[in-house]
Amino acid sequence: MVDDWLGDGMLLGINQLTGLLFAVERDRPAEVPDEVMRRWHRLLAVQRRVADQSEPAFIDQARRQGWSWERIADVLGLADAEAAERRQAALAAELARTHPSALPRPWLG
């Protein structure tokens, strides 16, 4: 559906989130169809959840490999080791908060 709406051969075949961003920034449409907006929101939520799951896994793996919190902070662009540890805790809290079982009603996307 998103690919159909994008329709531009230049944008086909790229990540849909990237395509949507390019399309609305380039064309500034007055309106995007509701179904495309719903799909866009779902893509955002799914990709955000994947990133929020992947980053702590990256940190855990780095720690198992002996990386210091300082090195992890540097790689993640954080100020210091304490910031990296706080980031890990914040991600854990966000994953718990956004877990489907914690939602007050089923998420329809």
Q: What is the pTM of this model?
A: 0.69
Q: Which of 37-41, 80-84, 86-90 has the lowest mean pLDDT?
A: 37-41
Cα(14)–Cα(19) distance, rounded to whole angstroms?
A: 6
What residues make up the domain containing 59?
36-109
Q: What average pLDDT score do residues 34-58 get?
A: 92
Number of domains in the chain: 2
Per-residue pLDDT at 58 exceeds 90: yes
What is the chain's mean pLDDT, rounded? Answer: 86
Task: Examine the domain organization and report whether 13 and 43 are in the same domain.
Answer: no
For residue 53, the model assigns a pLDDT of 94
Task: Examine the domain organization and report whether 24 and 56 are in the same domain.
Answer: no
Q: What average pLDDT score do residues 51-60 get?
A: 95
Burial bucket for residue 55 (CB in 10 Å: 0-12, 13-18, 19+): middle
